[in-house]
Amino acid sequence: MQEVKCFLGSHVRADKKAAFMKGKKWRFKAKQPCKKGYKLVELPYMEIIVYIPILFFSIVLHEFAHGLAAYRLGDDTAYLSGRLTLNPIAHIDIMGTLVVPAFCYLFGMPLFGWAKPVPVNPLRLDSPKRDMGKVAAAGPAVNLVLALVLVLIMKIVILTAATASAGVEQALVFLQYGVLINVLLAVFNLMPIPPLDGGNIVTSLLPVNASIRYQAVFGRYGMYIVLALILTGAVKYILLPPVYLILNALNKFLML
């Protein structure tokens, strides 16, 4: 698992931690930078059991953030529809939650997906055009915040663990997957193609006439473009540069 060693690689500087690392086959000890030629994630069959629940929870939290942002900005459509909940059943989308992750796994692509979009009525928002951008940004923002929180937890575990036990190592791998998944989800959803969040953010920032033309083109064909990027594998060339940039920044924080 070369990519696991390069992502969030860390040498802990304290003497106690140096002894903790010494002689152990430690997943976070490699200091080499991530290279573009590496696959982002490569999962053994057993570890997919850990990866999928993290992916699912992160997607659900993403959609919950959309609903909560809309609710606070004046639209209670998600609440009235029973979607302002962390209950995963309410957010399952056959294509995004089941089919796409399975396809990505089978063909060795980075695992990602999406949940059923939370219903939002722009006319009920205080400032429809501006607030739709805020609602769209809430999902990726929550994923990035969650990734940062998980890195903080990783740092605490590394600094407080006395030995590199199997339990500690598995906990760190679990947290590591959580960071990776949430960064992937944030970057994927920020692609400026409707119906992804990035497309709605761009629409909210453009002048009215330009946003109408933008939606007229990408609103009609956006989903087909996204699926084509996924099916051809071209999506990785869009996702990997910003993903590596964010992961390297988190890596530097972990190494402090």
List pLDDT tens digits, range 85-144.
888 888 888 887 788 777 777 777 666 667 888 899 999 998 999 999 999 999 999 999
All structural domains of the chain with their residue ranges = 39-254
Q: How far apart are CA 95 and CA 139, in angstroms?
A: 19
Alpha helices, DSSP H, located in the chain: 2-6, 15-21, 48-72, 77-80, 100-106, 128-160, 166-189, 197-205, 208-232, 235-254
Tokens representing residue 176 in the block: 């590591």
The residues, any chain, with a CB within 8 Å of residue 137's CB and separated by 6 or more, are 197, 201
pLDDT in tens, 172-211: 888 988 999 899 999 999 999 988 999 999 999 999 899 9
In angstroms, how far is the first alpha carbon of the chain from the final one?
24
Please name which of 164, 185, 150, 159 lies closest in space to residue 23, comparing C-alpha atoms: 164
| 42 among known catalytic residues | no
Assess contact for 29 and 99: CB atoms under 8 A: no
Tokens representing residue 98 in the block: 């089941």
Q: Which residues of 49-78 are buried (b: 16+ CB within 10 A; e: fewer)?
A: eebbebbbbbbbbbbbbbbbbbbebebebb
- 159: confidence class by pLDDT, cuts 50, 70, 90: confident
Amino acid at 87: N
Please name which of 247, 255, 217 lies closest in space to residue 34, comparing C-alpha atoms: 247
pLDDT in tens, 18-58: 433 343 333 433 334 444 443 444 455 556 666 778 888 89
The structure tokens 């791998």 sit at 173
Tokens representing residue 219 in the block: 């609103």
**Taking every pair of C-alpha atoms in the chain, what is the biggest distance, in angstroms?**
63
pLDDT in tens, 224-253: 998 888 888 888 899 999 999 999 999 888
Tokens representing residue 241 in the block: 């540069």
Catalytic residue among 3, 42, 47, 63: 63
The pTM score is: 0.77
Output the CA torsion 182→185→186→190 (10° steps): 180
